Structure 1
Amino acid sequence: MHPLFNAAINNDAHTVSVLIESGSEPLMKNDNGDTPAHVAARLGHVDVIRAMPIYALSGTNEYRQRPLHVAAENGQAAVCRALISMGLVSDGLDESGRTPLQLAQAGGHLEAVHVLVGRPAPAADWRAVFEAAQDARPAAPGVGSRERGGPDL
Structure 2
Amino acid sequence: MIDLSKNTDFLNTQNDQRQTPLHLAVITNQADVCQRLLVSGCDPTLVDDSGDTPLHIACRHGNLLCFSVLTQNCQTEHLHTVMAACNYHGQNCLHLASVQGFLSLVENMVDLGADINSKEQRNGRSALHLAVDQQNLSLVKLLLKKGADPNLLTSGGHTPFHLTYGRDGDDIRKELYSLTHPDLRELPDSEEDDSEAEDDESDEEVRVENA
Whether the TM-score (by the shorter chain) exceeds 0.5 is yes
Which of 133, 144, 151 is the matching residue for 1:106?
Answer: 133
Q: Is the 8 A contact 2:56 2:93 kept in 1?
A: yes
Structure 1 moving runs of 4+ over 4 Å:
none
Q: Considering only aligned residues, what root-mean-square deviation do their CA atoms show, in Å?
A: 1.8
Q: How does 1:54-133 map to 2 (within 5 A)?
A: 54-55=79-80, 56-95=82-121, 96-118=123-145
Which of 8, 18, 30 is the matching residue for 2:48?
Answer: 30
Q: Which has the larger radius of gyration?
A: 1
Q: Distance in 2 between matches of 1:7 and 1:116?
A: 30
User: Larger relative contact order (C-alpha < 8 A, sep ≥ 6)?
Assistant: 1
Deviation digits for residues 79-111 of structure 1 (CA, Å, limit 9, x no counterpart): 101111222221011111111111121122232
Structure 2: gaps of 5 or more residues: 1-18, 147-211
Deviation digits for residues 46-84 of structure 1 (CA, Å, limit 9, x no counterpart): 222222222332322113321001100111111101111
Q: Using structure 2 for the length normalisation, give the TM-score.
A: 0.51
Number of aligned residue pairs: give it. Answer: 119
> What percentage of aligned pairs have identical amino acids?
29
Q: Is the 8 A contact 2:86 2:92 kept in 1?
A: yes
Structure 1: gaps of 5 or more residues: 120-153
Q: Is the 8 A contact 2:83 2:92 kept in 1?
A: yes
Q: Using structure 1 for the length normalisation, give the TM-score.
A: 0.69
